[in-house]
Amino acid sequence: GATNSNTTVNPAFGTVRSTMNPAFNRRGSANSVADNGNNTSNHNLHAHTTPPSGARKAPKSTRLLEHEYVFWLGDLNYRLDEEVEIVEIFERLYNETWETLRLQDQLHMERNKKNVFH
């Protein structure tokens, strides 16, 4: 399976292990991702993630549902908050007993804390 210093994934037989500080890493800025050891130039990330100097903020009256298309860009790699065997995940999904998985889901937890999609 794929592996790096913080994550190991073996989709056939192994375990999915989450990163050291998973929820923060998922909603952190591009600059913090670069600072966490990726081999990406912080300057290049800043240039691509910072609005131009003349950019204006959208008025607060702008609503998400007023648009036909909405694009959410960012790190969408939310995971389960603890190690769970792949076989166990599929068993829970097959048996429709996924509530314990949902409670460990980082995106679900961050939404409940109103850190994302609020």
Which tokens is 73 given?
């860009």
Which tokens is 109 given?
């937890």
pLDDT of the chain, 118 residues: tens digit per residue? 444 444 444 444 333 444 445 555 455 544 454 455 554 444 444 445 556 677 677 666 667 777 788 787 777 777 887 888 889 889 988 999 888 888 888 888 888 998 887 6
CB 21 within 8 A of CB 102: no
pTM of the model: 0.40
Contacts of 25 (CB under 8 A, 6+ apart): 19, 32, 33, 36, 75
Q: Is 101 exposed, middle or buried (0-12, 13-18, 19+ CB in 10 A)?
A: middle
Q: Give CA separation, 64 vs 69, 76, 116, in Å.
A: 9, 19, 14
